[in-house]
Amino acid sequence: MVLSKGNNRSLGSIFFRQVLTYGYLTFGGVIQGIGMALFLFPNSIPSGGAAGLAVLLNFFLDLSLGLALWFSNLIALSLAVKYFGYEWTFRTMYSVSITSFTVNWVTAFWYMPELNIGLDIVLGAVLYGIGVGILIRYGSSSGGMVVIALIIAMQKNWSPGKAMFWVNISIFFLTALVIDLKIVLFAITCQFLSTKIIDLVDKYKIEFTVFQEMGWRRK
> What was the pLDDT predicted at 194?
95
Does the residue 57 lie in any domain? yes
Residue 123's contacts (CB-CB under 8 Å, 6 or more residues apart) are 35, 38, 39, 115
Does the residue 42 lie in any domain? yes
Does the residue 148 lie in any domain? yes
The model carries a pTM of: 0.83
CA distances from 42 to 116, 179, 189 (A): 12, 16, 16
> What was the pLDDT predicted at 8?
62
> What was the pLDDT predicted at 7?
61
Number of domains making up the chain: 1
Alpha carbon distance 188, 209 (integer Å): 29
Helices 145-156/49-61 angle, 10° precision: 120
Does the residue 2 lie in any domain? no
> What was the pLDDT predicted at 214?
45
Does the residue 10 lie in any domain? no
Domain of 161, in residue numbers: 18-214
Amino acid in the structure at residue 165: F
Amino acid in the structure at residue 119: L
Does the residue 5 lie in any domain? no
pLDDT digits (tens, 9 = 90+) for 63-72: 776 577 678 7
pLDDT tens for the chain, residues 1 to 219: 445 555 666 777 888 899 999 999 999 999 999 998 899 888 888 877 777 777 777 778 887 765 776 787 888 889 999 999 999 999 999 998 898 889 889 888 887 777 788 999 999 999 999 999 999 999 999 988 899 999 999 999 999 999 999 999 988 888 888 878 888 899 999 999 999 999 999 776 444 444 444 444 444
Alpha carbon distance 69, 62 (integer Å): 13
Does the residue 8 lie in any domain? no
pLDDT digits (tens, 9 = 90+) for 120-140: 999 999 999 999 999 999 999
* Residue from 200, 102, 101 nearest 159 by CA: 200
CB atoms under 10 Å from CB of 129, counted, come to 26
> What was the pLDDT predicted at 49?
77
Quick check: helix, strand or coil at residue 144?
coil
Does the residue 13 lie in any domain? no
Report yes or no: 125 and 113 within 8 Å, Cβ to Cβ.
no
Residue 32's contacts (CB-CB under 8 Å, 6 or more residues apart) are 99, 102, 127, 128, 130, 131, 132, 135, 142
Counted residue by residue, the chain has a size of 219
The DSSP code for 45 is: -
CA distances from 191 to 27, 112, 129 (A): 21, 22, 9
State the DSSP string of 88-137: HHHHHHHHHHHHHHHHHHHHHH-------HHHHHHHHHHHHHHHHHHHHH
Amino acid in the structure at residue 182: K
